[in-house]
Chain A
Amino acid sequence: GTAGNGLGIDEEIIITKKRTPIPKLDDNRLLSDPGIPRLQRISKERLRFKGKGHEYGDIARMLNMYQLWLDDLYPRAKFADALAIIEKVGHTKRMQMMRKGWIDEGKPRRTTEWDDED
């Protein structure tokens, strides 16, 4: 609050009870530390695949990782709902810029580009 610095002292104070705002799963939350950065971290640390013959198990483990991560990030929503919300957030300009950045980080240095000309 910026109130309480004495300037509005003569005015009558109207008390309106405000609802506590419901936390939103928006781009700010998604980009904060428990959001995407944490997902990147835990996927590096924990995601282990067994490979051929264990396709369903591998994907199930991956889905569980997402579910637990989302439960920490935004406990309010069910898994499917949270996914739908995030998918939509991904359409904003800011998110698209960020996403492009993350991908570019992973790209190899631009030296071997000349090879694959067709």
Chain B
Amino acid sequence: AQTTLDEWARDPVDPEIRAHVYSLITALGGIGEDGTYSLGDDALLCLKDLRRWLKFGDGQLNRRDVARCMAEANLVKGDLLEILAKISPRAIEDTWRHKLAVAALELLVPLTWPFEIDPVEATVNHYQHGPYIQLAQIGYKRAILQFDRDRTLQTAVKIALPSMAVSLRERTPRDEGIIRIALYFIRNIAMLSPPNSAPMDTDEAEVSRSATIDTFHEQDIFQVLLSASSSIGEDFVTQDVIILEILFFLLKGIDAEKLFMEDKTLRGRNADELRNLMQKEKAMLAGYARNAPTRHNRFGTMIWVKRDDEKVTTISGQDVLGKAQASMRKMDQTKKWNKPRRPAKKTDGEQEREEFDLPVSLTSTARDHIKAFVEEFLDSSFNPLFLHLRKAIEREAERVEIRHSRQFFYLVSWFLRAECARRRTMKERAADSKSAAVLTAEDESYGLVAEVMNQETFILLNRFMQKSQDEKAWQDLNAGMKCFTQILLTVHEMSESALEDDQEIAENIQNRIFYEESTHDRVVTILRSYNGQGFGYLDAVTELSHVFLRMLERYAKQNVDMQIRSKRRTRKIKKRQIETSGAFADEEGHASETDDIQQAQRTVSERKFDFTRFAAKFVNQSSVNTFVAFAKYFADLDTEQLKRAHRFFHRIAFKMELGVLLCRVDILQLFNKMMKGPDGLDTESHAYKEWDDLVKHFFRQVVKKVQERPELVVEMLFSKIPATLFFLEHGYDREVTART
């Protein structure tokens, strides 16, 4: 079919829908004679009609035409916000005004509801309107945050206040509905963020996280969140997940550690960061200048590289003159073919929004505001809210959706980190003899976060991690790992607390965590099975195994006769049962019998824990591959991350004496590149010296080994087979002892 210009110019929206919606919006009201907004005669009915249109057209017909029309007609900024502003001073006193306000809010919530393209439900229509609506929603957010005639978010809360004041038992479904709407409105505003896929006209700073936080502070939304979450379970029940989402979208990506740094240290740290970055850039430019051409680009140098069998390779460019390594590099770089790679998975809108591995930076005012909120939240609301949420997740309550578990565990890790950072700062302040601060955190113990440091949470976390691992839900597993790591770190800090109670509790927790062998196995399996899940995930995996191994090592040293509970299969029992059951077993009895057998198959037994044997599980080709994948990002890693990789390789090569696992050409090349460049580690940095030591020692080991066993030259191309591993490392075969 031929397409004509007319067809392109055709209105994407059904003209009849447009006509109806526009006439309703016009009838809603407009600028009156006194220059302020004046309501139309039937404004309330118009609002209700508009809502019906939105519900019917978009909900039932599964189209987005109405939402698009409303966006084009500037309904939110032109009418709804004006209406709310007009009636907000007397919104609660007057039933008619209150109704009007609720109706306006009932329109605002679905309009700001983050737009999602559901691959199952979506029609062409959704794809057509999607980008437009997404951008329009950012416009809504901007209008609401920057609106100067009214505090819209506060008005929304004000509208819900009468319903909130009613005690839980006497609340009508309508009251519950109004509260829900107000909270969802706040959530939507916190959640909306500029899409990565579409370009924007507006200034990003006006809709950034900092702007959101500043507005929340200015309009006292934080107070609302605090009072709702501290009285959760009493006055509020079903609202817990909405608060969870608000918190998630407010806090994700913010560095909890930096938040609690003293201003002075933070400034110092920021200055350091800037200095380091400038230093890094300087080193980079110097590295380039070393190899840059010294004459103009048509100077036309060409060299021959002599090779064996009388062959030569020609390379052009003066940058390779007199430098053997540079010419080798250039030979490689000029090759055109690339090994085909799996294309990266496309992330949809929801994943993009849920992404918590992207760091967010805040302005200093926003930082102060969110810090104050987090402190108050920890003091008053953390325990009740997270206890309530945990129970809801355990019960699989109807309101809990899949994403909520992920958000829950991410926030647990976030708040634990924040609490630890806060205590550290307090300690520093108290240690400083000049300051007047007294040690307050020390007296309080870790009770403020106690509700997530109990056995119930650990069980839930274990189940969650196992489940997401089985279902390959990597982002879930990522959140679970972050949470587990943070729990381990918190327990560690607790064990070093000055209070004896804290130490005792820490020991108890460690007992419980390290008692289950299944936990140990899970950490190892996750580390071994990394396969391109992205950097955030990789960072979480390596951190978890680093922290876990370190803590376990310390713990095992302190508790020499440590026991663990392991699940073992006992085949004998199964066999015996099958024999005794005989051939006469009827159908009905059979089912329960297989259950019995399965039970019998897995018996639980205790045995002595041997750390060296456990550590050996960490040392194998696949975990090496995971850490190599991590080390490949060396240019972007910070000191702590580089240290993590360093410790692992050090453990492999020297502690466990399995350096042969690292004897692979690609790993050698990576190490060589890290140390000797081009684009290697900054030679001035502290990490460089550590790595230099490691790599030099390791390289010496490799040279020695290759000289002793020339067969390594070929083996160096491959991952090692277990059968030959021992011989390659030691030069003789292991005595094989028959397994008893």
Say yes or no: A100 contacts B721, CB within 8 Å: yes
Say yes or no: A87 contacts B700, CB within 8 Å: no
Say yes or no: B735 contacts A86, CB within 8 Å: no
Contact A84/B666 with A103-B715, A103-B728, A113-B733 known, Cβ cut-off 8 Å: yes
Say yes or no: A76 contacts B735, CB within 8 Å: no
Contact A63/B672 with A56-B696, A86-B718 known, Cβ cut-off 8 Å: yes
Residue of A nearest to B709 (CB): A106
Considering the chains assembled together, what is the distance between the CA atoms of A86 and B308 in angstroms?
23
- Among B330-347, those with CB < 8 Å from A are 331-333, 335, 337-339
Say yes or no: B719 contacts A80, CB within 8 Å: no
User: Is B717 on the interface with A (CB-CB < 8 A)?
Assistant: yes
**1/0 per residue A19-44: CB within 8 Å of B?**
00000000000000000100110111
Contact A103/B711 with A55-B696, A60-B325, A79-B332 known, Cβ cut-off 8 Å: yes
Which A residues are CB-close (under 8 A) to B664?
87
- Among B588-640, those with CB < 8 Å from A are none
User: Is A6 on the interface with B (CB-CB < 8 A)?
Assistant: no
Say yes or no: B715 contacts A99, CB within 8 Å: yes
Say yes or no: B721 contacts A99, CB within 8 Å: yes
User: Is B35 on the interface with A (CB-CB < 8 A)?
Assistant: no
Say yes or no: A55 contacts B703, CB within 8 Å: yes
Contact A40/B714 with A59-B668, A63-B668 known, Cβ cut-off 8 Å: yes
Which A residues are CB-close (under 8 A) to B335?
75-78
**1/0 per residue B718-740: CB within 8 Å of A?**
11010110011000110100000
Contact A78/B715 with A55-B703, A99-B721 known, Cβ cut-off 8 Å: no
Say yes or no: B732 contacts A116, CB within 8 Å: yes
CB distance from B54 to the nearest CB of A (A): 53
Question: Which of A58, A60, A78, A90 is the one whose CB lies under 8 Å from B332?
Answer: A78
User: Is B713 on the interface with A (CB-CB < 8 A)?
Assistant: yes
Question: Which of A56, A77, A79 is the one whose CB lies under 8 Å from B675?
Answer: A56
CB distance from A112 to the nearest CB of B (A): 8
Question: Which of B676, B717, B728 is the one whose CB lies under 8 Å from A56?
Answer: B676
Which A residues are CB-close (under 8 A) to B337?
76-78, 81
Considering the chains assembled together, what is the distance between the CA atoms of A95 and B333 in angstroms?
29
Say yes or no: B699 contacts A99, CB within 8 Å: no
Which B residues are CB-close (under 8 A) to A72?
307
- Among B463-501, those with CB < 8 Å from A are none
Q: Which of B702, B703, B719, B723 has the most CB of A within 10 A?
A: B703
- Among B412-455, those with CB < 8 Å from A are none
Say yes or no: A83 contacts B706, CB within 8 Å: no
Residue of A nearest to B699 (CB): A55
Residue of A nearest to B334 (CB): A78
User: Is B710 on the interface with A (CB-CB < 8 A)?
Assistant: yes
Chain A interface secondary structure, helix, strand, loop or mixed? helix
> Interface size class for chain B?
35 or more
Which A residues are CB-close (under 8 A) to B331?
67, 71
- Among B649-680, those with CB < 8 Å from A are 664-666, 668-669, 672, 675-676
CB distance from B659 to the nearest CB of A (A): 13
Which B residues are CB-close (under 8 A) to A66?
665, 716-717
Considering the chains assembled together, what is the distance between the CA atoms of A85 and B664 in angstroms?
13
Considering the chains assembled together, what is the distance between the CA atoms of A85 and B665 in angstroms?
12
CB distance from A39 to the nearest CB of B (A): 6
User: Is B60 on the interface with A (CB-CB < 8 A)?
Assistant: no
User: Is A105 on the interface with B (CB-CB < 8 A)?
Assistant: yes
User: Is A1 on the interface with B (CB-CB < 8 A)?
Assistant: no
Question: Which of A36, A63, A105 is the one whose CB lies under 8 Å from B665?
Answer: A63
Residue of A nearest to B702 (CB): A59
Which A residues are CB-close (under 8 A) to B718?
86-87, 90, 95, 99
User: Is B271 on the interface with A (CB-CB < 8 A)?
Assistant: no
Considering the chains assembled together, what is the distance between the CA atoms of A106 and B728 in angstroms?
11
Considering the chains assembled together, what is the distance between the CA atoms of A109 and B185 in angstroms?
79
Say yes or no: B709 contacts A100, CB within 8 Å: no
Contact A63/B709 with A39-B714, A107-B727 known, Cβ cut-off 8 Å: no
Considering the chains assembled together, what is the distance between the CA atoms of A47 and B706 in angstroms?
10
CB distance from B310 to the nearest CB of A (A): 13
Residue of A nearest to B333 (CB): A78
Residue of A nearest to B730 (CB): A116
Considering the chains assembled together, what is the distance between the CA atoms of A42 and B710 in angstroms?
11
CB distance from A116 to the nearest CB of B (A): 6
Which A residues are CB-close (under 8 A) to B700?
52, 55
Say yes or no: B307 contacts A68, CB within 8 Å: yes
Which A residues are CB-close (under 8 A) to B723?
100
Considering the chains assembled together, what is the distance between the CA atoms of A118 and B707 in angstroms?
27
User: Is B328 on the interface with A (CB-CB < 8 A)?
Assistant: yes
Residue of A nearest to B697 (CB): A55
CB distance from A105 to the nearest CB of B (A): 7
Residue of B nearest to A90 (CB): B718
CB distance from B214 to the nearest CB of A (A): 47
Considering the chains assembled together, what is the distance between the CA atoms of A47 and B702 in angstroms?
13
CB distance from B295 to the nearest CB of A (A): 27
Say yes or no: B711 contacts A51, CB within 8 Å: no
Say yes or no: B719 contacts A90, CB within 8 Å: yes
Residue of B nearest to A115 (CB): B732
Say yes or no: B714 contacts A102, CB within 8 Å: yes
CB distance from A64 to the nearest CB of B (A): 6
CB distance from A35 to the nearest CB of B (A): 10
Contacts A87-B719, A116-B735 supplied; 13 other A-B pairs, CB < 8 Å: A36-B714, A43-B710, A55-B703, A56-B696, A62-B668, A66-B665, A67-B331, A77-B339, A83-B666, A90-B718, A99-B714, A103-B724, A105-B711
Closest 10 CB pairs of A and B: A90-B718, A81-B339, A55-B699, A106-B711, A43-B713, A83-B666, A59-B699, A78-B335, A79-B332, A55-B696
